[in-house]
């Protein structure tokens, strides 16, 4: 029923709530500085924008830039399982391959950090395996002190989030 004189406010949809939350996590990432030895001490926001820029320019999949942008945004919620958390947040908005790249991100990250491929060998025959390795490589590159690659702008990041989550 339509009510021209009613002062009802629009009830936010799950999607708009999700977009708001992911934007909040993106902003919150400015507070996070990775303390892993050998990394450049950039903020989580800088890392997300660099990784998204690399993924947009060189990524293998249509969802590469989005996955590059959001892959670490749940670190303030849980450092160990941040990829799995993001995978669940965006599950219905990305391809199955993108979901699994996010879901296993921590394992691919660990394989590089600990120089131990045993973390990811079980996924070698998955169709998204090389994309997951590519994201991990972009991540490593984004932390380099002499990084000179592409960086997504903050405003482009907001547009990308809205494209996927609105």
Q: Would you list the domain boundaries of the chain?
A: 14-29+41-165
Q: What is the pLDDT of residue 87?
A: 97
Q: What is the pLDDT of residue 129?
A: 97
Give the right CATH number for 14-29+41-165 from 1.10.260.40, 3.40.50.1820, 1.10.600.10, 1.10.3210.10: 1.10.3210.10
H or E segment to which residue 25 belongs? helix 14-28
Profile the chain (166 residues) by mean pLDDT over runs of 10 residues: 49 69 93 73 92 95 96 90 95 96 94 89 96 94 91 97 94
Q: Return d(Cα 73, Cα 22) in angstroms, integer.
A: 8
Q: In 3D, which of 152, 153, 166, 165 has the Cα closest to residue 65?
A: 152
Q: What is the pLDDT of residue 33?
A: 82
Q: What is the pLDDT of residue 16?
A: 72
Beta bridge partners of 33: 43
Phi-psi region of 27 (alpha: psi -120 to 50; beta: other; left: phi over 0): alpha
Q: Which backbone phi and psi does 129 adopt, to 5 degrees?
A: -55, -50
CB hemisphere CA count around 157 (13 angstroms): 28
Tell if the pTM clears 0.85, that is, is over it: yes
Q: Return d(Cα 142, Cα 148) in angstroms, integer.
A: 9
Q: What is the pLDDT of residue 156?
A: 97
């Amino acid at each position: 029923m339509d009510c021209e004189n009613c002062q009802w406010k629009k009830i936010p949809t799950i999607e708009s709530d999700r977009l708001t939350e992911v934007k909040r996590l993106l902003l919150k990432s400015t507070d996070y500085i990775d303390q892993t030895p050998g990394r450049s001490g950039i903020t989580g926001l800088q890392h997300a924008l660099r990784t998204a820029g690399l993924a947009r320019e060189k990524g293998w999949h249509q969802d590469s830039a989005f996955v590059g942008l959001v892959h670490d945004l749940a670190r303030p919620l849980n450092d160990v399982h941040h990829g799995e958390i993001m995978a669940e947040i965006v599950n219905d908005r990305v391809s199955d391959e993108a979901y699994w790249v996010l879901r296993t991100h921590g394992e691919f990250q660990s394989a590089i950090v600990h120089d131990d491929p045993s973390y990811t060998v079980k996924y070698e025959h998955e169709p998204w395996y090389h994309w997951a390795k590519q994201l991990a490589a972009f991540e490593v590159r984004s932390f380099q002190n002499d990084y000179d690659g592409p960086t997504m702008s903050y405003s482009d990041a907001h547009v990308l989030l809205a494209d996927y989550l609105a």
